[in-house]
Amino acid sequence: MKIAPKNTLLFVLFLLVGFVTLMGFQSKQKDSKYRSVDIGEFPVETILIQLGDSSLNHSMSGFDSEKASLGEDLIRYGRTKKAGKYSKRISKYFVCTDCHNLKREFNSLSSESSSERLTYAKNNGIPFLPGSTLSGVYNRTKFYNDDYIKKYGPLVENSRDTLANAIQLCAKYCASGRYLEEWELEAFMHYFKKNELKIKDLDLSENNLKNIQRYSLLKEDEKSKLIELIKSSYRQSYAAHFLKPIDTGKRLYGEGGDVENGKLIYRKSCLHCHGGRRVTYLNLDESQLTARMFWNNITNYTDKSLYQIVRYGTYAKTGRKQYMPLYTKEKMSDEQLNDLVAYIKKTAEK
Amino acid sequence: MINKLCVLFLGILILTKIHAQDVMETFNGTRILNGHSVETLKKNTLQFRIEHRFGNIAGPSGGVQNFFGFDQAADIRFAFEYGLSDDLMIGFGRSKGTGDPYNSLLDGFVKFRILRQNKAKNRPISLTVYAASTLTYQQATENISMVQSFPEFAHRFAYTSQINIARKFGERVSLAFMPTYVHRNYVNANDINEILALGGAFNVKITKELGIIGEYYHTLYKGIFDVENTLRPNNYNSLSAGLEWMTNGHNFKIVLTNSRGFTESQFIPYTYSNWLNNEFRLGFSITRNFKI
């Protein structure tokens, strides 16, 4: 049978349309896990800008995964491989993760309670460190807050509202290293952008999530309320208050302290750096000998007293750039310090 | 003799309770007193060492006239040592030399950790191997009866190989056993080139920072059966006792020893002082670590 040319054309067209539809459908299935808009996956910053908030000082429109992965190397190891060669270490003494976690540290991101932070560290197998987490640092607006001016003086002034300057201050002074090169700083920023907060990270009610979804229908005052609500569900900055060592007359010396909690702090804080001489020359372990060193010095006015070292840390000086950072009130409470002393006392006397 | 010592040591190993995890600080430093310990420097750590041995405290050359040995320096060593990895270290040093027989010594060594004591991994001991050589650049004497005449350049070298085995018992006590082989390329007529020595040492920590150390090298050579004592007649075994003080980044040791020189190829074959004749001296070593 002879097929008329018009029919042939229709037939080919039919095949073509069918093919394109099929391919389109397939590729759609392959590319996207989601069948609809998932508000949880949206960056907090994007939503805030949509609601009419001003953008962050260091706002970035997106991140480059390659740069972010270089950044992660630099943060974890202080150097990365570039064109087959290792880059120069940022610091001989520290890497970022010696003092900062890369994961979130609280169940609720609006919290900065030291006991909630310790519980979260226990349940999630992360250390309990003197620095704030780098997870979500992109969404913060204030750095080196409150009393850090006492430690770094005017150096903190330019860093308090500018993330890039804060990173540089940390690399050069807190880590006893050097200022980052341009590509390194960029890599840090891309890593931070990659790990910015998403809506799903926040504790928002169903109702609020719905409101975010239909934000264009909200009135101006509803929008600003929503902005406020979103901003109150995570911390734009972490407070940092230095404490003096407790007066000798007021110290509990472990009395009433929770030994198990103290052991947890010892493992998650002290041993993070001192265990197996990982970061420092001073080797600490869970032996009686080590506990006795601390216990016998507990009333001293020296580095060897836990009351002194936790609150003052030590300072980097010429010839000895490695130092121990201090724990602020927010990062270790006096009750937690008492728990730690209780554990040391128990181990020393066992 | 060697067999008996080995059996005794293995017996001790089997009988004792074993720890969890990697055992740290078996000895607080890369040296016990004169000789090496099982410890190595951490990766990227540069250590500067200053070691000093004074003159005899007592005996004929000691006493108040030279302020108990402080007026004399038996030997002085300056060295840079470096951790290439956590298990491999190298070192390079220069010592004054005791003059008996050598002066002006350069030394270099390599030390590698094979095992670290760890109960979880079923490793009851820590074990490192160590190899060193010394070179004297002292001017050769014309008296060919003396070892310092060095007819050939190779005669200026001496070598040491050592297996260093140690174990920490509990928190405070560490024992070490160091079979050591020393080869000198050129020796006196009544001496022998190859010497085997068995070293033993202990370290007891009084506190975390303060420890007592003892170290002894028993030298085995043909002369031990040589009833007429014609071979190496004036040699004694090296016996040392010390006090050690640790701080963060520093390690300070005060030593009492009958040996004069540094490095195994010096203090094992050339110890001429006898504790029983009040011939022993003070010494110290200071180390400072730098991160590179």
Condensed to tens digits (0 to 9), the pLDDT of residues A50-75 reads 999 999 999 999 999 999 999 999 99
Angle of helix A206-213 versus helix A220-232 axis, rounded to 10: 130
Report residue A247 CA to chain centroid gap: 33
Contacts of A281 in chain B (CB under 8 A): 248-249, 289
Nearest alpha carbon to residue A333 among A249, A237, A239, A232: A239
Of A44-48, A213-217, B132-136, B196-200, where does mean pLDDT reach its minimum?
A213-217
Spatial contact of A73 and A81, defined as CB atoms under 8 Å apart: yes
pLDDT of residue B227: 56
Q: How many Å lie between the alpha carbon of A302 and the closest alpha carbon of chain B?
A: 13
In this complex, which of A277, A289, A296 lies closest to B205 when CB atoms are compared? A289
pLDDT digits (tens, 9 = 90+) for B214-234: 999 998 875 555 556 667 778
Interface of B with A in 153-192 (CB under 8 A): 171-172
Domain residue ranges in chain A: 39-240, 248-349
Residue A43 and residue A192: Cα distance in Å, rounded? 12
Q: Would you call B249 and A93 a contact, using CB atoms and an 8 Å cutoff? A: no
Nearest alpha carbon to residue B35 among B177, B212, B248: B177
Asked whether residue A5 carries a pLDDT value surpassing 80, the answer given is no
Nearest alpha carbon to residue A114 among A344, A268, A323, A249: A268
Q: Is A118 exposed, middle or buried (CB count within 10 Å of its CB: 0-12, 13-18, 19+)? A: buried
Contacts of B207 in chain A (CB under 8 A): 289, 292-293, 296
B111 vs A5, more confident: B111
pLDDT of residue A276: 86
Q: How many Å lie between the alpha carbon of A284 and the closest alpha carbon of chain B?
A: 9
A128-142 b/e (C-beta count within 10 Å ≥ 16 → b): bbbbbbbbbbbbbeb
pLDDT of residue B247: 77
Residue B48 and residue B80: Cα distance in Å, rounded? 5
pLDDT digits (tens, 9 = 90+) for A310-334: 999 999 888 788 899 999 999 999 9
> Could you tell me where the DSSP H helices lie in chain A?
5-31, 44-50, 65-77, 114-124, 148-152, 163-169, 182-194, 206-213, 220-232, 259-265, 271-274, 288-296, 306-312, 334-349
Count of residues making up chain B: 292
Say whether residue B119 is in contact with chain A using an 8 A CB cutoff.
no
Q: Closest residue of B to A320, CA-based?
A: B290
Asked whether residue B117 carries a pLDDT value surpassing 50, the answer given is yes
Of A32-41, A156-165, B139-148, where does mean pLDDT reach its minimum?
A32-41
How far apart, in Å, are the Cα atoms of A21 and each of A16, A24, B211, B288?
Answer: 9, 5, 81, 74
The residue with tokens 């270290």 is B89
Work out the pLDDT band at B3, boundaries 50, 70, 90. Answer: low
Residue A271 and residue A177: Cα distance in Å, rounded? 23
pLDDT of residue B19: 37
Asked whether residue A35 carries a pLDDT value surpassing 70, the answer given is no
The string of DSSP letters for A38-56 reads -GGGSBHHHHHHHTTPPPP
pLDDT of residue B278: 87
Per-residue DSSP letter, A346 = H
Contacts of A300 in chain B (CB under 8 A): none
Q: Which CATH superfamily is domain B2-291 in?
A: monomeric porin ompg (2.40.160.40)
Q: Closest residue of B to A323, CA-based?
A: B248
Question: What's the pTM value of the predicted model, to 2 decimals?
Answer: 0.85
Work out the pLDDT band at A32, boundaries 50, 70, 90. Answer: low
Residue B23 and residue B10: Cα distance in Å, rounded? 19
Nearest alpha carbon to residue B32 among B199, B279, B265, B247: B199
Residue A242 and residue B162: Cα distance in Å, rounded? 52
Q: Would you call B208 and A289 a contact, using CB atoms and an 8 Å cutoff? A: yes
Residue B279 and residue B258: Cα distance in Å, rounded? 6
Nearest alpha carbon to residue B237 among B256, B260, B259, B221: B259
Spatial contact of A200 and A106, defined as CB atoms under 8 Å apart: no
Domain residue ranges in chain B: 2-291
* Mean pLDDT value across residues A253-262: 96
CATH of segment(s) A248-349: 1.10.760.10
* Mean pLDDT value across residues B255-280: 92
Asked whether residue B7 carries a pLDDT value surpassing 60, the answer given is no
pLDDT of residue A128: 97
The string of DSSP letters for chain B reads -HHHHHHHHHHHHHHS---SSB---SSSSSBSSSSB-S--PPTTEEEEEEEEEEEESSSTT-SGGGGGGTT-EEEEEEEEEEESSSSEEEEEEEE---SSS--SEEEEEEEEEEE--BTTTTB-SEEEEEEEEEEE-PPPPS-TTSGGG-SSGGGGEEEEEEEEEEEEETTTEEEEEEEEEEEESS--TTS-SEEEEEEEEEEEESSSSEEEEEEEEEEE-GGGG-TT--SSTT---EEEEEEEEEETTEEEEEEEES--SSSHHHHTTT----GGGT--EEEEEEEEEEE-
pLDDT digits (tens, 9 = 90+) for B67-112: 999 998 999 999 999 999 999 999 999 999 998 889 999 999 999 9
pLDDT of residue B17: 38
pLDDT of residue B13: 43
* Mean pLDDT value across residues B14-35: 75
Q: Would you call A289 and B172 a contact, using CB atoms and an 8 Å cutoff? A: yes
Count of residues making up chain A: 350
pLDDT digits (tens, 9 = 90+) for A115-142: 999 999 999 999 999 999 999 999 999 9
Q: Which two tokens stand for residue B65?
A: 């006239």
